[in-house]
Chain A
Amino acid sequence: MGQTIAEKILERHLIDDAERVEPGRVVRAKVDFILFNDANGPVAFRHFANMGGTKVAVPDKVGLVCDHFAPAPSAAGAHMLRDMRSFARDKGIKHFFDVGKGGIEHTLIPEMGLIGPGDLVAGGDSHTGTAGAYNAFGTGMSWAGMAAIMMIDETWFRVPESMRFHLHGKKAPYVTGKDVILKCLQDLGVDGALYRSMEFGGPGIAEFNIDERMGICNMVVEAGGKTGIVEADEQTEAWAKATCKRPYTLTNADADAEYYSRHDYDLSKMVPMVAKPYSPDNVVPVSEIKPGVKLDQVYMGNCANGTISDLRQIASVLKGRKVSKWTRVMIVPATQKIYRQAMAEGLIDQFIEAGAAVSTPTCGACFGGHNGALDDGEVAFATINRNFKGRAGHAGAQVYLGNSYVAAASAIAGEIIDPAKL
């Protein structure tokens, strides 16, 4: 019987080769990389100490990224960052990225070539599945479990069932990877992929570059998914060749793989989608948003939508225009490298000229921590991934989610609009 991408990747990482990788079974495996940020790292370090940890089993498998409280918004945040720094120094963690030296974890780690096709990646953060854009199996994990991996270099996984999403057709204008996953969320709901691997393939995949694939995989967890993986194609291979610092294995499903379910999406029929408050599955086409949803803030950025492709999309809309007087607009490149690239292309200057605030990479406004948090009663449009009550600041704020084109167009209009109507 054939295997899905998730099954193949797990099988290659088994500790005991005789174990069977079948959906529902619990298997023990070694991961290729583990990822901590400054929100979960400090808690995991405590578990590590309680386990009697002194030395990290394989320090080079560990990535520590300062992004949530970076730059520190408060003394408490500074304390979290300090914990990260001292752990990195004490344990000899090479892949430590401080403020000004990295960016947001899920964009940064692949950019640095630290993960690639066929890898098994665990992270303390729920959006670790973003690695699926690079044909890797990424998944969020318990913080104690992450500490355990630092101790004994192994962990356990329940083998997920897989769902196959077959994409075909030519994508319509202003449609991005974000719309693919929002469409999935509309169809599946917030628990429609619970425990499963969402696997994206078909000729339509070629319509999305590597950056846009991050937008797809980033939000599989919003449907309950354990991971989301895009099948490997020429673009994956070209990216891996140019970027990966470790050996990689392009991994695709067998033709006779067994899926829990199969879904078919015609990209030519897809349109920009928007998730309304207060759930990422409360999705409608942008054209169904009634005119007059006035915006106090538009936020463009996060671990999957602060890519150079997003910044170019934003610039294509903002060029020569000004953002609305009563709407504050924030644009956050996801990494320092993307920031510099955008500068070299003149995008940053265009953003500032249009009246947007541009900041150093940070999670800040995405989780309502700082750098653009919302007040009671405010309404925002953001290219982030969650809009639960209280997610982006005050519980009385409302957040609409969508792609970078819609965000940029809405920033100019001061209300949610279809970029085609600008």
Chain B
Amino acid sequence: MIYKGNVQKLGDSVDTDGMIAGRYLSILNPAELAKHIFEETIPDFARRVKPGDMIVAGKNFGCGSGREQAPFGLKALGISCIVATSFSRTFYRMAIDLGLPMVVSPEVAAAASQGQNIEVDTETGEVKLDGKSYKAEPLPKFIQEIIDMGGITDWVKKEVAARAKAAA
């Protein structure tokens, strides 16, 4: 899959507490949750993100508390993909399962700057920044399958249906 948007540049060890404060964890409405993303840490973030934008960050993105509301809120805000030097693993998994692709690339993280045009091909691992080509790790096939289905919910539904059919 190819994703296109503009770069929203962030630094190292961006933690989930900063993404969505604990007091908002009971909000279930995606649009409502999106309003509070980075509320106190990057006050203009929610306003400047356009649908399709991609976060490009440094190492250990999404560290700290394992809270699903963080990737869920970013996706609801319109973030289409996150490229980072590395991810906190619980965050990585939560995002994938919600259908938000996570791409590992120290090269892109070092080269990207705020607002640049970015294009990510999750299958080949090619990333273009203002047309210039860089390398990223392609998504493993199985993970790509989950992403293509918009997350693990539909993937599970399909799997359950296939098993029922096989049993019949």
A positions within 8 Å CB-CB of B: 25-26, 28, 40, 43, 46-47, 50-52, 76, 124-126, 140-145, 147-148, 151-152, 156, 158, 190-191, 194-195, 224, 226, 368, 386, 388-390
**B94–A143 contact, CB under 8 A?**
yes
A-B contact count (CB 8 A): 94
- Could you tell me the distance between the alpha carbons of A25 and B64 in the complex, rounded to whole angstroms? 25
Residues of chain B contacted by A46 (CB below 8 angstroms): 28
Contact assessment for A142 and B93 in the assembled complex, using a CB-CB cutoff below 8 Å: yes
Confirm or deny: B97 has a beta carbon within 8 angstroms of a beta carbon on chain A: yes
A51-B157, A191-B59, A224-B63 as given contacts; A142 in contact with B17, CB under 8 Å: no
| In the complex with contacts A142-B94, A144-B151, A148-B152, A388-B17 CB distance below 8 A | yes
Give complex CA distance A388, B65 in Å.
Answer: 10
Top 9 A-B residue pairs of the complex, sorted by shortest distance between their CB atoms: A191-B60, A142-B94, A144-B97, A126-B66, A142-B97, A142-B93, A26-B140, A51-B156, A148-B156
Point out the residue from B26, B86, B142, B159 that lies within 8 Å of A76, measured CB to CB. B26
A-B contact pairs, 22 of them (CB 8 A): A25-B140, A26-B140, A26-B143, A40-B68, A52-B157, A140-B90, A141-B90, A141-B93, A142-B96, A142-B97, A142-B98, A142-B152, A144-B151, A145-B97, A151-B160, A152-B160, A191-B86, A194-B86, A224-B63, A224-B88, A226-B89, A390-B22
Q: State how many angstroms separate the Cβ of B27 from the closest Cβ of chain A.
A: 12
B90's partner among A50, A52, A126, A386 (CB-CB below 8 A) is A126
Check if B13 is an interface residue, CB within 8 A of chain A. Answer: yes
* Across-interface contacts of A52 in B (CB, < 8 A): 157, 160
Inter-subunit contact A156/B142 (CB<8 Å): yes
| Residue in contact with B153 in the complex, picked from A51, A224, A390, CB distance below 8 Å | A51
Q: Which residues of chain B are within 8 angstroms of A126 by Cβ–Cβ distance?
A: 65-66, 90
**How many whole Å from B87's CB to the nearest CB in chain A?**
8
Question: Smallest distance from the beta carbon of B158 to chain A beta carbons, Å?
Answer: 10
CB-CB under 8 A from A389, the residues of chain B are 17
Distance, CA A143 to CA B66, complexed state (A) = 9
- Residues A144 and B60 in contact in the complex (CB < 8 Å), given A224-B88, A389-B17: no
Q: CA A20 – CA B143 in complex, angstroms?
A: 17
Residue of B nearest to A79 (CB): B26
Question: A225: nearest residue on chain B (CB-CB)?
Answer: B89
Interface centre among A40, A151, A226 (most CB of B within 10 A): A151
Least distance between A227 CB and chain B CB atoms (Å): 10
A114 to B68, CA, bound (A): 27
Q: Which of B54-113 contact A (CB under 8 A)?
A: 59-60, 63-66, 68, 86, 88-90, 93-94, 96-98
Q: A140-B66, A142-B97, A191-B63 are in contact. Are A151 and B156 (CB under 8 A)?
A: yes
Chain B residues within an 8 Å CB radius of A152: 156, 159-160, 163
Interchain CB contact under 8 A, A143 and B68? yes
Given A152-B159, A224-B89, A389-B17, the answer on whether A144 and B66 have CB atoms closer than 8 Å is no
CA distance A389 to B21 in the complex (A): 11
User: Which chain B residues (137-168) contact chain A, with CB distance < 8 Å?
Assistant: 140, 142-143, 151-153, 155-157, 159-160, 163
Asked if B15 lies at the interface with its beta carbon under 8 angstroms from chain A, I say yes
Is A145 a contact partner of B88 (Cβ separation < 8 A)? no
Residues A142 and B160 in contact in the complex (CB < 8 Å), given A156-B142, A390-B22: no
Question: Which chain B residues (10-69) contact chain A, with CB distance < 8 Å?
Answer: 13, 15, 17, 21-22, 26, 28, 59-60, 63-66, 68
Residues of A close to B151: CB separation below 8 A = 144
Contacts of A226 in B (CB 8 A): 89
Q: Is the CB of A125 within 8 A of B157?
A: no
With most chain A CB atoms within 10 A of its CB, the pick from B28, B59, B63 is: B63
Residues of B within 8 A of A151 (CB): 156, 159-160
Residue with the greatest number of chain B CB neighbours at <10 A, chosen from A142, A156, A158, A224: A142
Other A-B pairs, 7, CB within 8 Å; known A152-B163, A390-B22: A26-B143, A126-B66, A142-B94, A144-B97, A156-B143, A226-B89, A386-B65
Residue of chain B at shortest CB distance from A125:
B66
In the docked arrangement, what's the CA distance between A340 and B80, Å? 52
Shortest distance in angstroms between A195's beta carbon and chain B's nearest beta carbon? 5
**A145 CA / B89 CA spacing, docked (Å):** 13
**Cross-chain contact A144 with B68 (CB below 8 angstroms):** yes
CB neighbours (8 Å) of B143 from chain A are 26, 156
- In the complex, A158→B143 CA distance in Å? 10
CA distance A126 to B88 in the complex (A): 11
Instruction: Assess whether B17 is in contact with A194, with CB atoms less than 8 Å apart.
Output: no
Report whether A145 and B15 are in contact in the complex, using a CB–CB cutoff of 8 Å.
no
B11, chain A: closest CB distance, angstroms:
13
The 8 Å CB contact of B60, one of A40, A158, A224, is A224
CB pair A142 B15 closer than 8 Å: no
Question: Cα distance A40–B26 when bound, in Å?
Answer: 11
Q: Across the two chains, which residue of chain B brings its CB closest to A124?
A: B66
Tell me which residues across on chain A come within 8 A of B97, comparing CB atoms: 142, 144-145, 148
A43 CB contacts on chain B under 8 angstroms: 68
In the assembled complex, the Cα of A158 lies from the Cα of B59 at a distance in Å of 18
Chain A: minimal CB distance from B84 (Å): 11
Complex: chain A residue closest to B26, CB-CB:
A76
